[in-house]
Structure formats: structure tokens, C-alpha cells
């Protein structure tokens, strides 16, 4: 059986020795939401919630794609917002504020 989104998230946290407070601060997320996600192994996040968590974990593009796939999503090359996110990760701009600046500069809002 494949890892669930939450199981994969926890594994990445353990591999990188990232604590819950570090994750919710780096992902710019509410601590209650992160706690809820980590408590429920079958939690189904929204796409850009999963992206924020991937950024908070400083995942590579391949790792980000795997985490999103575990949640039932993908970064699409036909969606401009997803292209900018992918490019930011490849360029090692993995902080939420950096990605949001790039998105807003292109009129794509934020995540």
C-alpha cells in the first residue's frame, strides 16, 4: 500500500529533523491546521496547502511532485501558477514569501 499524504509528510519531517513549529512557521500556516493534518492519516489537503507544506520542508521538485501526488494533485505545466512554483523550487527559492512575490509579480495572486 502506498503512503498517504500525511504519512509521507511525517516521513519528510523526520528525515529532515523538522519540528511541527518549524513546519508551520516555514509553511506560513496556522499551527492548528498543521496539527490537524498530522493527526489524521487520511487527511486530504487542498492543492496549495500541500504546496506550502512542501515549501516549508524545502523539498526538491521531485519530492514536491511525490507529496502532491500522494494528495491526488500535480504541478501542471499548463497552469501558469504551477509553472512559477516549479521554477522557484528548481531555482532554490523555496520560501513561501519568495514564491508569493514571484506569483504576484506575474499577476497570479499567491498561495
Within a 10 A sphere around the Cβ of 86, how many other Cβ atoms? 17
Largest CA distance in the chain: 41
Residue pLDDT, tens place only, 73-82: 999 999 999 9
For the chain, the domain total comes to 1
Answer whether residue 110 is part of any domain: no
Alpha carbon separation from 9 to 2, 36, 47, 103 (Å, rounded): 13, 13, 14, 25
Query: For residue 7, which of 59, 81, 66 has the smallest C-alpha distance?
Result: 66
pTM of the model: 0.94
Answer whether residue 20 is part of any domain: yes
Question: What is the span of the domain harbouring residue 30?
Answer: 5-105
Answer whether residue 17 is part of any domain: yes
* Measured distance CA(89)–CA(95) in Å, rounded: 9
Residue pLDDT, tens place only, 15-68: 999 999 999 999 999 999 999 999 999 999 999 999 999 999 999 999 999 999
Answer whether residue 30 is part of any domain: yes
Amino acid at each position: 500500500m502506498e503512503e498517504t499524504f500525511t504519512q509521507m509528510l511525517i516521513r519528510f519531517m523526520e528525515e529532515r529533523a523538522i519540528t511541527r513549529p518549524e513546519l508551520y512557521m516555514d509553511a506560513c500556516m496556522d499551527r492548528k491546521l498543521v496539527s490537524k493534518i498530522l493527526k489524521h492519516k487520511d487527511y486530504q489537503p487542498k492543492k496549495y496547502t500541500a504546496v506550502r507544506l512542501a515549501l516549508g520542508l524545502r523539498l526538491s521538485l521531485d519530492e514536491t511532485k511525490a507529496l502532491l501526488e500522494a494528495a491526488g494533485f500535480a504541478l501542471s505545466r499548463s497552469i501558469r501558477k504551477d509553472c512559477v512554483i516549479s521554477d522557484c523550487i528548481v531555482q532554490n527559492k523555496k520560501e513561501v514569501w519568495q514564491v508569493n512575490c514571484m506569483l504576484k509579480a506575474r499577476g497570479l495572486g499567491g498561495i
